[in-house]
Amino acid sequence: MIAEAIDTALTVAIALAGWLIFLATVAAILTLTAIATGAYGVRAMWRRTVGPSWKRGQIRARIYVGRRRRCSSKRTRPLWSHSQPLDYEEAA
């Protein structure tokens, strides 16, 4: 009878330890997820409050100006259009 009581106590202790480990793992995952989400939110809010990216530093200002300059000089016609005639006499 004492052996059965010891066996039952060990079984219950092992089951409790397993549940404790499981719950600690779930809690750690949830905590790390909350930290990561909070850090992302803080970063997003910081970026919104500071202003546009080109106001944050000289390097970013150069990147911003370079992108703006490149965007304004984009081609409006396809690359092959220089070899095509502008009038369609040949097609008729």
37-90 residue pLDDT tens: 999 988 888 877 766 655 666 776 777 766 655 554 556 666 666 665 566 666
Number of structural domains in the chain: 1
Domain presence at residue 92: no
Q: Are 54 and 44 in contact (CB under 8 A)?
A: no
Please report the pLDDT score of residue 76 as a whole number: 65
Domain presence at residue 84: no
Domain presence at residue 18: yes
User: What does the pLDDT average to over 1-9?
Assistant: 93
Domain presence at residue 9: yes
Q: How far apart are CA 38 and CA 16, in angstroms?
A: 32
Domain presence at residue 80: no
Domain presence at residue 77: no
Enclosing domain of residue 60:
2-72
* Of 75, 73, 55, nearest in space to 64 by CA: 55
Domain presence at residue 86: no
Please report the pLDDT score of residue 82 as a whole number: 62
